Amino acid sequence: MIQTVSTTPFTDQKPGTSGLRKKVKVFAQPHYAENFVQSVFDSLDGFAGQTLVVGGDGRYLNREAIQIVLKMAAANGFGRVLVGQGGILSTPAASHLIRSSGAFGGLVLSASHNPGGPDEDFGIKYNVGNGGPAPEKVTDAIHARTLTIDQYRILQAVDIDLDSIGTSRMGDMLVEVVDPVTLYADLMEQLFDFGAIGAMIAGGFTLAFDSMSAVTGPYAVEIFERRLGAPSGTVMNGTPLPDFGHHHPDPNLVHAKELYDKMMATDAPDFGAASDGDGDRNLIIGRHCYVTPSDSLAVLAANAHLAPGYKAGLKGIARSMPTSGAADRVAERLGVPLYETPTGWKFFGNLLDAGMATICGEESAGTGSDHVREKDGIWAVLLWLNIVAVRQQSVAAIMADHWATYGRNYYARHDYEAIATDRADALMAALRGKLDSLPGTGNSGGTICAADDFAYTDPTDGSVSSHQGVRILFEDGSRVVFRLSGTGTQGATLRVYIERYMAPDGDLKLATGDALAPLVAAAQELADISGYTGMDAPSVIT
């Protein structure tokens, strides 16, 4: 029943920041998904008879890809697969299921916040036994294998019914279709004071959660409406759809505009939040108060001890390099280490496993902790709600208090999307070529004191990751960072991260655009963005 199929390599299967992401049409080519899945299996050792977790965000191609993965897992010798009912598992729930079931690893089928549908994106990511994304040495091995692969193994079998919970057999392998929500919701209930949050909601506190027609719908309905008692309708766009209702399921101010407008209206709820396609990102907006992801990380770290799961305090805080330094000031005051890693959640895994960090976060709207090994959108919302419930203050009041204590890191990210790859590479090469000559020179942003290409040495295993983004540091502590996105599927995306620190005695109430204008001009002067990209303005500002 096991078929060995001859194949030839595809040259474009290098995993990016977060797995392999391509257009559905690319994935739907004969052998394309199979080659990648076999390359994953070929790069792993010792999984015979072990458990694999499989699930995805419900996007177009999810169900078909899961059937392929099941048949290939059976043909390659896995003993058991746990798959979410309907093919659904949010990324953090998949991480939790891998950990709690003692699985060998998992395949998460998602392109995260990228749009879904026949003309949009699909993705496959391999997570290791700690529940987190495979580290670079594994993704490098997978990539190397994709370039030499000449056959894959697949079982000839009928499809599994993904909609009925229960156990069945595929060849010698057991397939368990499991409830994707309950285990995860139980974990949240252990970490947070559902009694206090529920009492706050019963007392009239109002919230809105936008699932963006993506995977968090069933999780959010169970947690916010059923377990915490928020009225039905609190969860907006709560049914996962294969094309996300034509929305772009990225919880930022552009794509979550419906929520943003609601939160800025005169009758706004007290608290608003959204999550992305696969449930690992979050957007937090208080009534009339948007919270940047970098600030959210800092506030969560400063107040985490108010939630039962973190009452012992934090072992350390980790943030990706482009994320603002707001969390650094919190770490300093708490007297715990702060780790600065390259972009990509996979870099946090070792720190969490080693007990060196408890809370991690990124400017790209991800925050999480050592409860799983992925960032976790609903977790971040619940920690915020727990903090609000204990402090009995609005989000705006908590932010004002935070800045008055630590100072404010004004921050924005400017994205230039779908640039021709050679132009984007040329811009970065030109910048890298002049790094040594920049310190001591001045421009609209002030005087540059340091410039480098960020490199990271993992403190747990000594592995080095180089060329992780160009940093330009100014004498007053301001910073401009340039890097190319590793998650796009069309051309290149240039990300420019702009940050300016204002001490507690400075002006904490500036409009972000005004505070950052000189640095935006400096970024243009330094990198000739309009010259290389032909674009006068970024496509997205977050």
DSSP for residue 281: B
Residue with Cβ nearer ligand G6P (51 or 139)? 139
Residue with Cβ nearer Zn ion (284 or 516)? 284
Q: In angstroms, what is the minimal distance from the CB of 280 to Zn ion? A: 4
Q: In angstroms, what is the minimal distance from the CB of 461 to ligand G6P? A: 19
- Work out the burial of residue 305: count CB atoms within 10 Å of its CB; fewer than 13 is exposed, 13-18 middle, 19 or more buried: middle
Residue with Cβ nearer Zn ion (278 or 295)? 278
Q: In angstroms, what is the minimal distance from the CB of 483 to ligand G6P? A: 7
Question: What mask of x and - would describe binding to Zn ion in positions 100 to 119, judged by CB under 5 A?
Answer: ------------x-------
In the window 267-306, what residues touch Zn ion (CB under 5 A)? Answer: 276, 278, 280-281
Binding site residues, ligand G6P, CB under 6 A: 17-18, 112, 320, 343-345, 362, 364, 366, 485-487, 495
Q: Which residue is nearest to Zn ion (CB)?
A: 112
Tell me: does residue 369 bind Zn ion (CB under 5 A).
Answer: no
Residue with Cβ nearer ligand G6P (84 or 322)? 322
Helix spans in 434-539 (H) = 512-527, 529-533
Q: Give all strands (DSSP E) within 314-445, no chain letters.
A: 317-320, 338-341, 359-362, 366-369, 408-419, 442-443
Q: In angstroms, what is the minimal distance from the CB of 352 to ligand G6P? A: 14
Which among Zn ion, ligand G6P, none contacts residue 485 (Cβ within 5 to 8 A by kind)? ligand G6P
Residues 6 or more apart from 241 whose CB is under 8 A from it? 58, 213, 214
Residue with Cβ nearer Zn ion (251 or 445)? 251
The set of catalytic residues is: 112
Cα dihedral 156, 158, 159, 163 sign:
negative
Residue with tokens 């993705």: 123
Which among ligand G6P, Zn ion, none contacts residue 487 (Cβ within 5 to 8 A by kind)? ligand G6P
Residues 6 or more apart from 3 whose CB is under 8 A from it? 75, 153, 154, 155, 156
Q: In angstroms, what is the minimal distance from the CB of 153 to ligand G6P? A: 30
What is the chain's length? Answer: 542
Q: How many angstroms separate the CA atoms of 247 and 115, rounded? A: 7
Q: How many angstroms separate the CA atoms of 275 and 289, rounded? A: 17
Question: Cα dihedral angle (445, 446, 449, 453), rounded to 10 degrees?
Answer: 10
Residue with Cβ nearer ligand G6P (51 or 343)? 343
Which among Zn ion, ligand G6P, none contacts residue 120 (Cβ within 5 to 8 A by kind)? none
Which among Zn ion, ligand G6P, none contacts residue 486 (Cβ within 5 to 8 A by kind)? ligand G6P
Q: In angstroms, what is the minimal distance from the CB of 515 to ligand G6P? A: 23
CA distances from 426 to 322, 492, 494, 538 (A): 21, 11, 12, 18
Q: Bridge partners of 154?
A: 3
Using CB under 5 A as the criterion, which residues of the chain lie in contact with Zn ion when the complex forms?
A: 112, 276, 278, 280-281
